[in-house]
Chains A and B, each alone.
Chain A
Amino acid sequence: MLSLVVFLPVVVAVVLLAVPRVSDPVVRWTWIGTSATEVALLVGMWVAYSPGSPGSPGTSGFAYEENQRWIPSVRAGYHVGVDGLSLPLVALTAVLFLACAIYSLRQTERVRGFATLFLFLETVCLGVFVALDLLLFFVFFDLSIVGMYFVIAGWGHRGAARAALKFFLYTFLGSLVLLLGFIGLYLASSPHTFDIVELVRQDPAAGKGAVAGLILLALVLGLAIKTPTVPVHTWLPPAHVEAPAAGSAILAGVLLKMGTYGFVRIVLPVLPGTWRDYAPVIVIVGVLSVLYGALVALAQRDFKRMIAYTSVNHMGYIVLAVGAAALVGQSDAQARQLAITGAVTQMVSHGLITGALFLLAGVLYQRGGTYDMGSYGGLARQLPVFAGITGLAAFASLGLPGFSGFIAEFQIFTGSLRGAPVATAIALLGVLITAALFLRAYQRLFLGPPSRQVVGDLTVTETAAIGPLMLLAVAIGLFPRFLLDVIEPAAGAL
């Protein structure tokens, strides 16, 4: 079942490539149909994922588990499964890819290539979140970089080639460092294995001192580049600015989560002691990302670049939370669970909201030909629906209650203060700075008198792509239980 969900898109992609002379509309609707099927399958899996149902987590804590021999010589297996940490991200991935598919209905440039690339990326992204084997994880993790490279380079704006190259080399370096860490874990385990579940049971780094520290360093650096945290974040802004809107949405919504997901899936459970030892450093990196990302975003004049930097800020909260959760220790189970639940919620929330914001940025570019905020003004009069939805997304992104971002950040703050009081108190300022930058940006773009003629409010397809993302953000913001019921048990078990 899980393998079907993961590999269906790539199979469709291969078929699309193999069949000669398919027309663009057929490609578009096949793409949408496939993505919609994925969403439908995941809704089914979500409903069935509860104690006592066919999809309930087994004794290992994972549901829909599959474990096959793959490379027996290094004891790497095809081991996949989902739990409360990964199921929300898997669902988020499916939803975002569907949104991008719908949004790309107006795409006219090399449609078949674009669609197959996205279908390939969908499989790869789903694969990362379901992988329970380090090598398998690494393969998907690395392929995501390849796929996104071609999206940016092939369909990006003017400076895309350069930005894509930077993106590729930088994140590829990160994934190589990550591979080093994985090999370190393999060598430290006995019997040697790449299986995550097995590694968690072994706690391979216990009592290994400096070696454990080095493995942690490699893992954290590798994941931090992908997340990205300060100071290894500078590949992100150019990649976003040059990427096509759908590419940006996937990059921010899904690819960044692979980094933070790696923390909760691999680093925390496999290296608990070492993680705790170095947690203060992680907390500092988190706070730095929060404040630095927000302040640099405040200074941007390019709308898309600004959103890119707010991603650094939002990911910073996650890093802060996973660091602080370790510092709280087992003494205060509720705070620890809140922090980790908040971190996972933030991943989902950021995916939805920032995904929507990047698609909206795409609309802005399509209508006005630039992301420069200074060349717009008074758009609310010309494009009222666009202004309304962007306003919603902006308030959601600045963490207003009623949207998912608040649920995430509130849990992160309340869960983290005990473990890291000073850092958490400082990180609170990030909430204010993001509010300031979004309101200023909104004012510059939408309020006041119109500065030039811009026509074309949101079309039906654009609304159909972006609206559901905002609806989900509101649903989580008001009725978070359906999501938290899934996350909390897994977060509590960490």
Chain B
Amino acid sequence: MLWTLVVIPLIAGAALLASGRRADRWAPGTALPAAALTLALAVGAAVRRPEVSAPFLAGVPFGLRVDGLSAVLIVLVAVVLLAVLVFAVGEVGPGEPRARFFGLMLLFAAAMLVTVTATSMVALLMAWEVMGATSYGLIGFWWHEPERARSGTIAFLTTRGADLGLYLAAAAAMAGGAGALALDGLATLPDGWRDAAAAGVLLAAFGKSAQLPFSFWLSRAMAGPTAVSALLHSATMVAAGAYLLLRLRPLLETTAWAAGLVLWVGVLTALALGAVAVVQRDLKQLLAASTCAQVGFMVLAAGAGGVAGGAAQLTAHAVTKTLLFLSAGVWLAVLGRQSLSGLRGAARRKPMVGVLFAIGAVTLAGVPPLSIWAAKDAVLTAALHSSVPLYLLGLAASALSAGYAGRALMLVWSPADSTDSTDSTVDADSTVDADGPGRAGRWRTAPLPLLAAPAVLLGAFAVPPVWSAFADAVGHPGEPAPTWAEMAVSAAVALFATGAAAAVVHRRGDVGESGVLGDWLGLERLARRVLVTPADVLAGLLARFDDRVVDGGVHAAAGAGTAVARLTDVRIEPVVDAGVRGVARGGRALGRLARRPQTGQLHQYYAQAVVVLAVLALLLAVL
């Protein structure tokens, strides 16, 4: 059953991708039933909690299991997938490469399902990386435009750089003696290896969840279709990092520095990216930055030990953010705009969508009694149990959430600016739906109410019995619920900040420009300057070194060989030859000498004989 759950989107996606453009016509007809079936199987699996395992590498099985935490996640993933795919039928039109789109979406979802059910590092890492690769294809879906393709590359490379952490963690687990690479085994590794594993896990999780300092890739991820953003930002990919930290809470518990680091990275991301979100000029960018910030709360929860709080926040945020992205997608399709100034009054033109967007925005703001309010309070309670400053920072971050949510809400509902509202002003990078709200429009709006409902209803987390049941279900029973005072404080903060933001927009038109915050803290430029450029320079230098020195050395050796040969030919050979010729000359000279006595005259021979005999006699006498 668990295999089927994973295999259905996998096979359907792979089949669509393999058939190419021929399958464009069949793509929604294949993908929607597959997603619906996945949802049904996910619900079944969440109830029955199956566990499967297959032999994979030597002593390292490929294992999947549904426990409380993953039960929540698989259902959530399946729900969001179905909602997003329905929307996508309206967004990605019949003329576009639908097979590629739906295929990649299904593969992506399958990877996420494996990620959240994996019991071993190898299964986790495989799914984790496939998710990154499919996100590359989805973000760069409109690859004809170089900038969008580049965004896909940047997103993939950033997350893959962080993924190296999981390779390290897996290797550390093996080196530390956890031969099966089970996720449960990480917490009990010996010191040293456990620290390495924790460091690797943190790196991977921060990267995937776009926490500081990796946040910039999420801004790039907006280059894809809205449906992609909605899926990436809610229940998958970005949530995966937070999920991993929640899942590996035991590892954080045994590795004190890691828990502390997670805490602070989470809360700082919530603050910094919250501030980034407040000043964004583009609705999708605002939502993207808010994702970083909201996921920061989940990360904070993992660090503070609030597993149930983190899971609740993940769930509430997933449905809310999907709702918001899809609403923004409707406006983008109908009005052709996604800049906030262009969207002034958009809600008044499409009031149905405007109301649903408002529900999402108010939920995101943390206004009671809606879901994120309840979930975030649980997170803040965990933070309070950790330290008071942390709690206060968390509250400040919630105020920022309320601020950006209130601002966006106010902007879309404020009357259209007379100078800026003619239909001809359309954002440069958008595709306007020429048909207007026809059948495509119905596909796009259909999922919105179904997402708004849980965004509101999950406020039930605030009800104590519901809360303790949820905490039990995700396997973290007894997690303290927020007190009434804490709830009241956070509610007051949210209401006040939302109101303040709305007031600013109402009075002054909008918040002011801000360079660094608007540019996502300049993180991408920083990464470029600190990592990419040096790597390129080094690569260039090494390439030249390779050609000139290493290969040059080989050529020099070969050259030296021929030089020696020539030298031998020109210098040594004549000498040797001269020697040979000298010997020959000497022989000839001796021959000439030897010829001289051969005169043929008898008296001279006698004289020679006498001389020889005399010499012999002399010799005899002497000796």
Query: Nearest chain B CB to A290's CB is how many angstroms away?
Result: 13
CB-contacts of A214-244 with B (<8 A)? 230-231, 233-235
Could you give, for residues 404-438 of chain A, a 1 whenever the CB lies within 8 Å of some chain B CB and a 0 otherwise?
00110011011111100100110011011101100
Query: Nearest chain B CB to A205's CB is how many angstroms away?
Result: 29
A170 touches B164 (CB 8 A): no
A299 touches B543 (CB 8 A): yes
B143 touches A410 (CB 8 A): no
Partner of A449 from B136, B140, B146, B164 at Cβ < 8 Å: B146
A435 touches B157 (CB 8 A): yes
Could you give, for residues 88-127 of chain B, a 1 whenever the CB lies within 8 Å of some chain A CB and a 0 otherwise?
0000000000000000000000000000000000100111
Query: Nearest chain A CB to B354's CB is how many angstroms away?
Result: 37
- Residues of A within 8 Å of B179, CB to CB, are 334
Query: Nearest chain A CB to B7's CB is how many angstroms away?
Result: 11
Is B33 located at the chain interface by the 8 A CB criterion?
Answer: no
- Residues of B within 8 Å of A425, CB to CB, are 168
A432 touches B540 (CB 8 A): no
Q: Decide: A410 near B170, CB < 8 A? Known: A295-B538, A334-B179, A385-B20.
A: yes
- Residues of A within 8 Å of B143, CB to CB, are 380, 446-448
Query: Nearest chain A CB to B18's CB is how many angstroms away?
Result: 9
CA A485 – CA B100 in complex, angstroms?
A: 35
- Residues of B within 8 Å of A407, CB to CB, are 57
One of A48-56, A186-194, A335-343 contacting the partner: A335-343
A402 touches B171 (CB 8 A): no
16 contacts between A and B (CB under 8 A): A295-B542, A295-B543, A332-B177, A384-B21, A410-B57, A413-B167, A413-B170, A413-B171, A417-B174, A424-B171, A431-B164, A439-B136, A447-B149, A448-B145, A449-B146, A484-B57
A432 touches B161 (CB 8 A): yes
- Residues of B within 8 Å of A435, CB to CB, are 156-157, 160
- Residues of B within 8 Å of A233, CB to CB, are 550
- Residues of A within 8 Å of B145, CB to CB, are 448
CA A421 – CA B168 in complex, angstroms?
A: 10
Query: Nearest chain B CB to A190's CB is how many angstroms away?
Result: 36
B539 touches A402 (CB 8 A): no
CA A488 – CA B57 in complex, angstroms?
A: 9
A296 touches B542 (CB 8 A): yes
A341 touches B58 (CB 8 A): yes
Could you give, for residues 293-306 of chain A, a 1 whenever the CB lies within 8 Å of some chain B CB and a 0 otherwise?
00110111000000
- Residues of B within 8 Å of A296, CB to CB, are 539, 542-543, 546
Which B positions have Cβ atoms within 8 angstroms of A? 20-21, 55-60, 122, 125-127, 129-130, 133, 136, 140, 143-146, 149-150, 153, 156-157, 160-161, 164, 167-168, 170-175, 177, 179, 181, 535-536, 538-540, 542-543, 546, 550-551, 554, 558
Q: Decide: A417 near B172, CB < 8 A? Known: A295-B539, A380-B143.
A: yes
- Residues of A within 8 Å of B543, CB to CB, are 295-296, 299-300
A401 touches B57 (CB 8 A): no
- Residues of A within 8 Å of B171, CB to CB, are 413-414, 416-417, 424
B175 touches A335 (CB 8 A): yes
Q: Decide: A381 near B144, CB < 8 A? Known: A334-B174, A400-B129.
A: yes
Sorted nearest first, the 3 A-B pairs with minimum C-beta distance are A401-B126, A417-B171, A299-B543
Query: Nearest chain B CB to A282's CB is how many angstroms away?
Result: 19
- Residues of B within 8 Å of A341, CB to CB, are 57-58
CA A381 – CA B543 in complex, angstroms?
A: 32
Interface centre among B55, B58, B168, B546 (most CB of A within 10 A): B58
- Residues of A within 8 Å of B136, CB to CB, are 439
Partner of A447 from B21, B140, B177, B538 at Cβ < 8 Å: B140
Is A40 located at the chain interface by the 8 A CB criterion?
Answer: no
A421 touches B129 (CB 8 A): no
Q: Decide: A432 near B160, CB < 8 A? Known: A440-B153, A448-B143.
A: yes
A335 touches B130 (CB 8 A): no
Is A280 located at the chain interface by the 8 A CB criterion?
Answer: no
- Residues of B within 8 Å of A388, CB to CB, are 20
A480 touches B20 (CB 8 A): no
- Residues of B within 8 Å of A234, CB to CB, are 546, 550-551, 554
Given A381-B144, A428-B167, A433-B535, 12 other A-B residues pairs in contact with their CB atoms under 8 A: A169-B558, A292-B542, A292-B546, A332-B177, A334-B58, A341-B57, A395-B133, A400-B130, A410-B122, A414-B175, A431-B167, A447-B143
Is A106 located at the chain interface by the 8 A CB criterion?
Answer: no
CA A488 – CA B58 in complex, angstroms?
A: 7
Which residue of chain B has the shortest Cβ distance to A488 in the bound complex? B58
Which residue of chain A has the shortest Cβ distance to B147 in the bound complex? A448
Which residue of chain B has the shortest Cβ distance to A418 in the bound complex? B175
A439 touches B156 (CB 8 A): yes
CA A448 – CA B535 in complex, angstroms?
A: 24
Partner of B56 from A418, A436, A481 at Cβ < 8 Å: A481
CB-contacts of A448-494 with B (<8 A)? 448-449, 480-481, 484, 488, 492
Is A37 located at the chain interface by the 8 A CB criterion?
Answer: no
Which residue of chain B has the shortest Cβ distance to A417 in the bound complex? B171
- Residues of A within 8 Å of B535, CB to CB, are 295, 298, 433, 436
Query: Nearest chain A CB to B497's CB is how many angstroms away?
Result: 40
B175 touches A439 (CB 8 A): no
CA A406 – CA B140 in complex, angstroms?
A: 23
A378 touches B144 (CB 8 A): yes
